[in-house]
A and B are shown apart, each in its own frame.
Chain A
Amino acid sequence: MSPDKYDTEDRYPADTELKFFGTITASVTHELNNVISIISQTGGLLEDLLAGTKQNRPIEPERLERIAEKVSIQTERGIKIIKRLNSFAHSTDISTGSFDLNELLENLGALMERFISLKGASLTLELSNGPLEITNNQLKVQQVIFLALKAILPLTQKNDSIIISSGEIDSDRKITIQLKTDRDCPLPDISNPNTHASRIGARLNSNTGPAGPFIEIILPRTSVLDNI
């Protein structure tokens, strides 16, 4: 496949889905690799200390406590990452079905957080109370949310924050991705996420408010498209 063809996401939606899946998986496995690296170095430190005892260098109990705590914290972190990735992977199990949009945002938010932190910015989720049921294609909904976030990331800088909120509007569901910044920013380019949004019966708007630019994703409560 030539590089040109590989990049034509809009002509090949399946390629974009695969790319989305690959991008998220690469990011999460990178984070998991960090967890393993910390546990590996901590194990190495323990080996160093034990080797030192043979040369009359005693180990302070507090130091051992710190090592055990570090391993425990990183193990918990690793378990959370794997659970999130597993949940994301299972979102492909059923093409279209009913799910809780807030639960999906919570999981996807955690998976996307690294892209935001690499910009030196932070992510806050402000989700509506209780479940927000929706019937659609889970993977494609996540893809549209991710592409909307990707449209806002080029405008994001160090110390900015991104707020993802959810709610209802009439009988539809609304997700807002707000870039909170002091700078004047242009409107995010939503042409790419919009192409994908139309495939799941959703629509996107971009605008600027007092806090900065934002993207709204309006999703029907039940998608009527039968080709998703």
Chain B
Amino acid sequence: MGEFKVLFVDDEQELVSTLVERLQYRDIESAYELNGASAIERMRREQFDVVVLDLKLPGISGTETLRVISKEHPEVPVLLITGHGSSVDMEEMPKGAADYLAKPINIDDLIDKIRLSLQKK
């Protein structure tokens, strides 16, 4: 399959399922989970190269999900999705995040940022 495997974590199912479909079209393997707890569980049984995580999640917060994933899988970069329309200073981002993306996400920016985060690791 593709060069990397992505896990999206966001409670907007229509959004993440479409992102998965678009990456599939580019021969990039990806999957999604709708909350932090199921994402943490999935990461324990399946290997992903990168995680794209929304900060606003039901139940376990995005920040807590990031903390657990970063602790259990320090080799996996985590990109954060924010709802902010404008750019956000990385210093404002929770510790452990490789980068961030503002919604609406541009698919080419997403792929570029994933590649960049993998190179950095």
Instruction: List the interface of chain A (C-beta within 8 A of B).
Output: 30, 33-34, 36-38, 40-42, 44-45, 48-49, 52, 70, 73-74, 117-120, 158
Which of chain A's residues have a CB closer than 8 A to the CB of B103?
33-34, 36-37
Instruction: Label chain B's interface by main secondary structure.
Output: loop
- B25 with A52: CB separation less than 8 A: yes
Segment among B13-21, B40-48, B64-72, B111-119 that sits at the interface with chain A: B13-21
- B57 with A118: CB separation less than 8 A: yes
- A41 with B59: CB separation less than 8 A: no
- A34 with B12: CB separation less than 8 A: yes
Query: A-B pairs with the 10 shortest C-beta distances?
Result: A120-B59, A40-B104, A37-B104, A41-B18, A30-B83, A37-B103, A120-B58, A158-B59, A38-B14, A38-B15
Closest A residue to B102 using CB positions = A33
Closest A residue to B14 using CB positions = A38
- A45 with B59: CB separation less than 8 A: no
In the assembled complex, 18 residue pairs joining A and B whose CB atoms fall closer than 8 Å, in A order, are A30-B83, A33-B85, A33-B103, A34-B83, A36-B104, A37-B12, A37-B105, A38-B14, A40-B105, A41-B18, A41-B105, A45-B25, A48-B25, A117-B11, A118-B56, A119-B59, A120-B35, A158-B59
Which of chain B's residues have a CB closer than 8 A to the CB of A120?
35, 58-59
User: Once bound together, how far apart are the Cα atoms of A52 and B104, in whole Å?
Assistant: 23
Contacts A118-B56, A118-B58 known; 14 new A-B pairs at CB < 8 A? A30-B56, A33-B104, A34-B12, A34-B103, A36-B103, A38-B15, A40-B105, A41-B19, A44-B22, A44-B107, A45-B22, A48-B22, A119-B59, A120-B59
Closest B residue to A40 using CB positions = B104
User: Once bound together, how far apart are the Cα atoms of A5 and B15, in whole Å?
Assistant: 40
- Most chain B beta-carbon contacts within 10 A, residue among A38, A41, A42, A74: A41
- Give the residue of B11, B14, B56, B59 whose beta carbon is less than 8 angstroms from that of A70: B14
Which of chain A's residues have a CB closer than 8 A to the CB of B105?
37, 40-41
User: Once bound together, how far apart are the Cα atoms of A117 and B12, in whole Å?
Assistant: 12
Shortest C-beta distance, B120 to chain A (Å), equals 26
Shortest C-beta distance, B8 to chain A (Å), equals 11
Shortest C-beta distance, B108 to chain A (Å), equals 10
User: Once bound together, how far apart are the Cα atoms of A216 and B56, in whole Å?
Assistant: 30
Shortest C-beta distance, B27 to chain A (Å), equals 12
- Give the residue of A38, A40, A73, A118 whose beta carbon is less than 8 angstroms from that of B12: A38
Shortest C-beta distance, B82 to chain A (Å), equals 10
Which of chain B's residues have a CB closer than 8 A to the CB of A117?
11, 58
- A41 with B35: CB separation less than 8 A: no
Which of chain B's residues have a CB closer than 8 A to the CB of A70?
14, 18
Which of chain B's residues have a CB closer than 8 A to the CB of A118?
56-58
